[in-house]
Chains A and B, each alone.
Chain A
C-alpha cells in the first residue's frame, strides 16, 4: 500500500513537472512562464527606466546616448567602430527577439523554434536559395573593409548585449516559445537583407503567364498586360525627359527565342484548390509599395527643398523599423534602421535626405530544366549534358530528428520544386524550373547606406548608389544646395523585350542574361522643369527608354495622384507634405465609378441596392473609415473584375492576376464595346452595361451576406478590420482593429496588415528640419509603454517633429535621459 502510494505520488509529481516545464504545441511552459522571478512577470515596464551608465565590454571609447521623449536613441560615438557597436547593442536591447526570429525565418530555421509546423516554410526558404545568397553576401561584405568592419562591429555590439543577459531578462517571446537567444552573426545580418530582397523582388508571375499564354494566346496577353500602359499613366521619370547617354546595344527579339511549352515548363494541367495566396481574394489588397517625392525650393514656401517618403510594408508589432540618430566624426545621420542591420536606411543628415520606393523591375527568372533521365544529376545546356550540383540543407526540427533536403542547382540556380515532389505553398513556383534571381549574386548594399549616411551632395549620393544591386529602388534625393533628383536604381540584366515574362528555356544560352545595363544609364532625372520628382512603384519610364527592365509594375493610382497634387501646389510647406501622405482619395473610384454608375439600371432595385447606389452617387471618392461607399466600391470593383475576367481563366489559371486597373479603366472609358466584356460561357453577347449591373447587384448581395443589413457594419473602418498583429502572431500582443482611413490604391496606402510603415518629411536648408512617425514605438517589449506608442497618432495621420542633435552635449528640452556606455578594460 505504502509502495503504491509512493510510486503513484512520484509519478504524479513527475507528470506535473513535465507538464509545467515543457511547451505543448503552442501552449507555453507554464512553470517557467508564470515564475514571478524569471518568467513573464519580469518583462514589465520597469525595463523602460534608462540607466545612466552601462558597462559594455568591447567599446574602444565612451559612447553617449541621449534619449528623447519618444525614447528614440541618439547615439554619439568617437569612432565608426563604437558607433555601430553601440547601434547593435542599443537595438538588441529593444528588439533582440525580433532580430533573431526574422533571421531564423529567412534562414529556414523556424522549425528549430516552432517545430514541424514551420517545416514547409523552412524548406521553401532554403530551396529558394536564401541561405546560399546570404553566405555569398557575407563574403562580399567581408571583401570590402568598410562594410565588413561596420557589420562586424554591429554584430559585436549585439553579442555584448546578449552576453549581459540573464534568463529572466530574455524578451518575453523567448519565454513563451521556450528557447534562448543565440550569438548574432554576420550571416544573420545578410539574411535580413536577403529577406528584404525576397519581400520586394521575390514574386513573379511567369508560371501563370506561361499557362495563360497557352490558354489565351500571346496577343491577348499583350493586350491585357501591355508593356506600355495607357497614356494617362504617369511614369516615374516624366514623359519626354531626354536621356543623357548613348545606350549600349541590347539583345533583340528573335535571338534564341524558344518558348517553353506547358509540359516543358512542368505546368500542372488541372489545378484545384486555392491554398497560399498568390491571388487569394482580397478586394482591397494594397501593394507592397511605397511613395516618395521631393519638391524643389521653387515650389516651397521657404524656398528650401522638401523630401517625403512612406514605405508601405507588412505592419507588425514590434515595428519593422527602429528609429535612431547615429553620429561620429564625419557622420551625423538620422532616420530609421532595420533591426539586425547597421546604419540609417531611410533618413537624412545635415545636408541631404533620401528615401526609397520599390522599383518593381524583373530580376527573377525561371528556367525550365531538361534533366537526363529520371535522376537529377545531369541537365541539358547548349547541346551538352552538364553536371548538376547539390546543396545539402539540414533542417533541425524541435523535438524531432533533423530533416535533410538535397537541393539541386543548375548553372542558373536552385530548382525550387522538382517534378514529382509535393507542390510548395508558394504557387508562383513552376515545377522543374531553376531559379535565376539577382539577389543570389554577391553584392554589397550596406556600402550604399554607409555612403548615404555620409554623403554631402549629389556626387556623394551618386557614389552611394553605385554599389546598390538588389532590390532595385527609386532613390529620391534632395539636398541643402537645392538639388532634387530620383534614380530608378539597381543592377539590371540586359535582355530582349519581354524576356522573362514567360518561363525561359534553361538549355538555351540565348535565354540567359546577356550582361548588365550600364550604371549611369539607369532611369533618372535631376532638377526636372516641373520642380518635383516622385515615385510610387509605377512604370519607371515612357517608351523612349532604350532598355527593357520589366513589365509588372504597380497600378497607376498613387503615382498619378501624387503628381496631380504636386502639380497643383504652390508655396508648399512640410505640413502640406505630411497631409499629402494621408491623402485618402481613390483615383480608381474617381475615374471608374462615374461611367460605371451611368450604366446601372436603377429600376426595380431592392432597398439595400437603392441605398448602396445612393451612397456611391453621393461619395467624394475619399476612403474614410466612417463611410460605407469605399466598401461598396471595393466590392463592386472586385465583382466587376471577377465577372469580366474569371471566365477567361480556363484550365489551371486560377492564380492569374486581373489586368492592372489602368487597363480596365481604359476599357471602361475608351472601349465599352470591348469583346472582353462578353462572357465566354454564355450564348448572348454581354456588354459593359450587363457586367456593371450584374457586378453591382452581386456586390450588394455579398456585403449583405458579410455584414448584414446596410449600416455601420458596412463602413470602411468596420469592414476592413485593419489591425497590426504581433510579428510572431501571439494573440493579445498586437493592436487589433484600428479605424484606418486610406486604401490599397490611395496615397495613404493602408490595408489589413499593410500600410505606411514609416512616414517621413524632411526640409533641407541651413538648418534641417524633419518629421516622422511609424505605427509602433521603439521598444519591442510588449510589456513596455513604448511598444505600441504612436499607433493611435499614426492612425489619426499625425506626424512628430524629429529631434536632430548636433552634439551629445547639446542642451535640448526634448532630451529626457542620457546614458553613457563605457568600455570595460
Chain B
C-alpha cells in the first residue's frame, strides 16, 4: 500500500513537471529494482499506482471540460461512448506499469543472492 501511494505521488509530480508518459514505466521499474520484496508486489504496485493515477487524471480532465474531446477521440477509435476511453487510459498505464514493476524486480532478483550472501 505504501509502495502504491509512494509510486503514485512520485509519478504525479513527474507528470506535472514534464510531458513524458513513460514515468508510469520508469517509476514502477525503479521501485521493483530497488525495493520490491517479490515479483507479485512489484507487479501490483505498478498496476495500481499507475492505473489509479491515470484513472484519476482521466476522470478529472473528463469532468473538467474533457467531455467533447473524449467523445471525438472515442469516435476516432470507433468506440461509441467515451467512458471506455477513461477505462482504456487507466488500463494502458496499469498494464505498462505492471510489466515494468515486474521486470524491475526480475532484475533485482539477479543480484539478490549476492546481496544476501554478503550480508
Inter-chain contact A37/B95, CB cutoff 8 Å: no
> Which of B57, B64, B73, B103 lies in contact with A732, CB distance below 8 A?
B73
Q: A37 near B15 (CB under 8 angstroms)?
A: yes
Cβ of B107 and Cβ of A40 under 8 Å apart?
Answer: no
Select B69's contact among A37, A38, A783, beta carbons within 8 Å.
A783
Q: Which residues of B contact A41 (CB under 8 A)?
A: 57-58, 61-62, 66, 69-70, 89
CB-CB nearest in chain A for B109: A2
Contact A2 B69 (CB under 8 A): no
Q: Mark B25-46, 1 if CB is under 8 A from A, else 0.
A: 1000100000000000000000
Task: For B102, list chain A residues within 8 Å (CB).
Answer: 9
Taking the closest CB of chain B, its distance from the CB of A444, in whole angstroms, is 40
Least CB distance, B59 to chain A, in whole angstroms: 9
Q: Is A713 an interface residue (CB 8 A)?
A: no
From B20, B57, B65, B99, contact of A36 by CB (8 A) = B57
Closest to A4 in B: B106
Partner of B21, one of A32, A44, A733, A787: A32
Q: Is residue A34 contacting chain B, with contact meaning CB distance below 8 A?
A: yes
From B69, B99, B103, give the contact of A40 (CB < 8 A).
Answer: B69
Q: How many residues of B contact A (CB 8 A)?
A: 45
Stretch at the interface among A112-120, A166-174, A456-464, A640-648: A166-174
Rounded to whole Å, the gap between the CB of A302 and the closest CB of chain B is 42
The proximity string for A residues 506-541 relative to B, scoring 1 for CB distances below 8 Å and 0 otherwise, is: 000000000000000000000000000000000000
Complex: chain B residue closest to A730, CB-CB? B76
- Which residues from 718 to 776 on chain A have a C-beta closer than 8 Å to any C-beta of chain B? 730-733
**A784 & B29 in contact (Cβ 8 Å cutoff):** no
Q: Is the CB of B110 within 8 A of A34?
A: no
Interface centre among B16, B57, B69 (most CB of A within 10 A): B69
CB interface residues, A 34-85, toward B, < 8 Å = 34-48
> In the complex, A570 Cα to B99 Cα: how many Å?
77
Q: Which residues of B contact A47 (CB under 8 A)?
A: 65
Docked complex Cα distance between A21 and B96 (Å): 11
- Residues of chain B contacted by A782 (CB below 8 angstroms): 68-69, 72
Q: Which residues from chain A contact B71 at a C-beta distance below 8 Å?
A: 732
Task: Say yes or no for B88: interface residue by CB 8 A criterion.
Answer: yes
Whether B89 and A36, one on each chain, are in contact in the complex, defined by CB atoms closer than 8 angstroms, is yes
Report B-chain residues with C-beta under 8 Å of the C-beta of A3. Answer: 110
**Complexed CA–CA distance, A781 and B73 (Å):** 12
A-contact 0/1 string along B6-34, CB 8 Å cutoff: 00000000011001111011000100000
User: Of residues A20, A32, A48, which shows the largest number of chain B Cβ atoms within 10 Å of its Cβ?
Assistant: A20
Report the Cα distance A35→B58, complex, angstroms.
8
Output the least CB separation between A35 and chain B (Å). Answer: 4
Which one of B29, B67, B70, B92 lies within 8 Å of A13 (CB-CB)?
A: B29
Q: Chain A residues near B57 (CB, 8 Å)?
A: 36-37, 41
User: What string of 1s and 0s marks CB contacts (under 8 Å) between A1-31 and chain B?
Assistant: 0110110011011001100110000000011
Residue of A nearest to B100 (CB): A13
A733 near B25 (CB under 8 angstroms)? no
Q: Which of B22, B62, B93 contacts A34 (CB 8 A)?
A: B93
Question: How many angstroms from the CA of A510 to the CA of B46 in the assembled complex?
Answer: 78
**In this complex, what residue of B is CB-closest to A783?**
B69
- Decide yes or no whether A176 CB sits under 8 A from chain B: yes
List, in ascending order, chain A residues with CB within 8 A of B70's CB.
Answer: 40-41, 44
Bound-state CA distance A538–B68 (Å) is 43
Task: Verify A9–B106 contact, CB threshold 8 A.
Answer: yes
User: Shortest distance in angstroms between A33's beta carbon and chain B's nearest beta carbon?
Assistant: 8
Q: How far is the CB of B111 from chain A (nearest CB, A)?
A: 10
B75 within 8 A of A: yes
Of the residues B54, B61, B95, contact of A16 by C-beta under 8 Å: B95
Check A35–B21 contact: CB distance below 8 A: yes
Judged by a CB distance under 8 angstroms, whether A785 is at the interface is yes
Chain B residues lying within 8 Å of A9, measured Cβ to Cβ, are: 99, 102-103, 106
Q: How far is the CB of A19 from chain B (nearest CB, A)?
A: 9
Query: In the docked arrangement, what's the CA distance between A33 and B102, Å?
Result: 24
Q: How far is the CB of A682 from chain B (nearest CB, A)?
A: 49
Distance between Cα atoms of A652 and B70 in the complex (Å): 49
Q: Are B76 and A176 in contact (CB under 8 A)?
A: yes
Please provide the chain A residues from 95 to 131 with a CB less than 8 Å away from any CB of chain B in the complex. none
B76→A42 contact, CB < 8 A: no
Contact A35 B62 (CB under 8 A): no
Are B110 and A2 within 8 A (Cβ)?
A: yes
A13 touches B103 (CB 8 A): yes
8 other A-B residue contacts (CB within 8 Å) besides A16-B95, A20-B22, A732-B74:
A2-B110, A10-B103, A34-B21, A37-B15, A37-B16, A38-B19, A45-B67, A732-B73
A-B contact pairs, 16 of them (CB 8 A): A2-B110, A5-B106, A6-B109, A10-B107, A16-B96, A17-B25, A32-B21, A36-B58, A36-B60, A40-B73, A41-B58, A44-B61, A45-B65, A46-B64, A166-B19, A783-B68
Interface residues of A, Cβ cutoff 8 Å to B? 2-3, 5-6, 9-10, 12-13, 16-17, 20-21, 30-48, 166-168, 172, 176, 730-733, 781-785, 787
* 6 closest Cβ pairs, A-B complex: A732-B75, A783-B69, A36-B57, A44-B65, A167-B19, A44-B66
